[in-house]
């Protein structure tokens, strides 16, 4: 990808200054909607919302029965300790990568 960008830059540098500015103007205009979305997301991040607002937004229903959270395909021959050991091993492997 870096070589593609360098090739594009070399081609643009070979154009007259007016054409270079026009390319820059059009590229900037094409990125403007993305920048506005980023600005809105940044603004939303810093606005505090109540837990009730978040629940309504995410349409979260209360859990009345813990069995609904159970993983039905859990292997019977594996203990919770096996799961925890696996999680720690995966985290360690990810740290080394």
Is residue 8 within 8 Å of 15, Cβ to Cβ? no
Query: What gap in Å lies between CA 77 and CA 79, rounded to an integer?
Result: 7
> Domain boundaries in the chain?
2-96
Q: Which long-range contacts (CB under 8 A, 24 or more apart) does 72-75 make?
A: none
Q: Which two three-digit tokens encode residue 57?
A: 């937004």
Cβ(97)–Cβ(89) below 8 Å? no
**pLDDT single digits (tens) 84-96:** 999 999 999 888 7
Does the pTM surpass 0.85? The reply is: no
Write the pLDDT tens digit of every residue in 48-91: 888 898 889 899 888 999 888 887 777 888 888 988 999 999 99
């Amino acid at each position: 990808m870096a070589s593609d960008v360098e090739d594009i830059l070399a081609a643009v540098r070979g154009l007259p200054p007016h054409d270079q500015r026009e390319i820059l103007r059009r590229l900037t205009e094409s990125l403007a909607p993305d920048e506005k979305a980023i600005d809105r997301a940044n603004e939303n991040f810093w606005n505090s919302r109540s837990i009730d607002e978040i629940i309504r937004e995410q349409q979260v229903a209360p859990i009345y029965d813990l069995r609904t959270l159970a993983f039905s395909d859990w292997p019977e021959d594996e203990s919770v300790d096996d799961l925890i050991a696996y999680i720690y091993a995966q985290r360690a492997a990810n740290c080394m990568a």
